[in-house]
């Protein structure tokens, strides 16, 4: 019962907020809401903060732009040193790039992400350079990557504004959108010796009306982060939350409010 009272209170406040620059300052360290590409609300959107696994959107973008998703990726020994969320890859195993991309986007698996980075470059440092060059080309002036998978690293940061632009870039790829909106997926090694099944880390997928992705993130330094995209009746809403203690609850409230906002 308390849950519905809290949601009702949230929406009541939201309905009273009209053109305020930052009508929801309590929901996250930084946030941004767009409806069909038009900015509705934002707070701290230019604040540099750790992006956690939202950084994987750049790894995914570079993978998709390279193409060759059926190319074979051999898992290196460095991959098994990845910490945090993993699916348990082993050195020497071979996968198609598209399957590792699935594990990276859906499960946010750090070992799969690292395997892609190793496949696309000669070293982790070279891949980070690739990430930052692409960020510069996209005009992400307040973004700097240090780690391909989003681990907390000194000097790694982005903003809600920049991450929204990055999200809009990966949204151009149907492959990414299909993965981001999948509730679960399974992959296997090229030789079929091992298979993996995993569920989407985005709790809104399959539960909140119209949600079709895009990426979740969490580290101790970044807190709980989310880029959420939803479509209802041909209208799309994009939300970025950085450092949001109640990301699922607040994202649903923001989505509902954004879809109810008058079109301009």
Tell me what pLDDT residue 262 has.
Answer: 81
Concatenate the DSSP letters of all residues of the chain into one string.
-HHHHHHHHHHHHHHH--S-SSS-TTS-SEEEEEETTEEEEEESTT--B--GGGGHHHHHHHHHHH--TTSEEEPPGGGGG--SS-----TT-EEEHHHHHHIIIII--HHHHHHHHHHHSSSHHHHHHHHHHHHHHTT-TT-B-S-TT----TT-BB-HHHHHHHHHHHTT-HHHHHHHT-SEEEEE-TTSS-EEEEE-S-TTTTTSTTEEEEEEEEETTTEEEEEEEEEETTEEEEEEEES-TTHHHHHHHHHHHHHHSPP-
**Sign of the C-alpha dihedral, residues 168, 200, 41, 15?**
positive
Tell me what pLDDT residue 80 has.
Answer: 86
Tell me what pLDDT residue 4 has.
Answer: 32
Q: What is the token pair recorded at 195?
A: 């298979």
Within a domain: 1: no
User: What pairs with residue 224 in β-bridges?
Assistant: 218
Q: Indicate the number of domains in the chain.
A: 1
Within a domain: 49: yes
> CATH number for the domain including 99?
3.40.710.10
Domain that holds residue 148: 20-260
Name residues whose C-beta falls within 8 Å of residue 172's C-beta, 6 or more positions apart in sequence.
Answer: none
Tell me what pLDDT residue 264 has.
Answer: 66
Within a domain: 209: yes
pLDDT single digits (tens) 101-130: 999 999 999 999 999 999 999 888 899 999
Within a domain: 11: no
Within a domain: 6: no
Tell me what pLDDT residue 77 has.
Answer: 87
Within a domain: 213: yes
Nearest-5° angle of CA 242, CA 246, CA 249? 115
pLDDT single digits (tens) 197-223: 999 999 999 999 999 999 999 999 999
Regions of the chain with pLDDT less than 70: 1-20, 264
List residues with catalytic annotation: 53, 56, 108
Tell me what pLDDT residue 81 has.
Answer: 87
Within a domain: 239: yes
Decide: 186 and 197 in contact? Cβ < 8 Å.
yes
User: What pairs with residue 228 in β-bridges?
Assistant: 214, 239
| CA count, 13 A, side-chain hemisphere, 148 | 31
């Amino acid at each position: 019962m308390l849950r519905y009272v809290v949601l009702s209170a949230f929406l009541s406040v939201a309905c009273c907020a009209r053109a305020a620059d930052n009508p929801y300052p309590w929901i996250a360290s930084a946030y941004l809401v767009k409806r069909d590409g038009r900015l509705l609300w934002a707070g701290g959107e230019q604040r540099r903060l750790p992006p956690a696994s939202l950084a994987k959107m750049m790894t995914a973008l570079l993978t998709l732009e390279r193409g060759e998703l059926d190319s074979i990726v051999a898992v290196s020994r460095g991959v098994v040193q990845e910490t945090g969320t993993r699916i348990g890859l082993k050195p020497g195993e071979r996968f198609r790039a598209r399957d590792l991309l699935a594990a990276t986007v859906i499960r946010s698996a750090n070992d799969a992400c690292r395997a892609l980075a190793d496949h696309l470059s000669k070293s982790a440092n070279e891949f980070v350079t690739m990430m930052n060059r692409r960020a510069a080309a996209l005009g992400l002036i307040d973004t700097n990557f240090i780690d391909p998978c989003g681990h907390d690293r000194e000097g790694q940061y982005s903003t809600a504004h920049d991450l929204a632009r990055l999200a809009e870039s990966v949204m151009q790829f149907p492959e990414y959108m299909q993965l981001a909106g999948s509730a679960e997926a399974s992959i296997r090694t090229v030789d079929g010796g091992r298979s993996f099944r995993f569920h989407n880390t985005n709790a809104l997928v399959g539960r909140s009306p119209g949600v079709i992705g895009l990426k979740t993130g969490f580290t101790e330094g970044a807190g709980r982060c989310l880029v959420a995209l939803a479509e209802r009746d041909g209208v799309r809403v994009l939300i970025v939350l950085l450092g949001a203690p109640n990301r699922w609850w607040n994202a649903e409230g923001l989505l509902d409010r954004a879809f109810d906002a008058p079109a301009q």
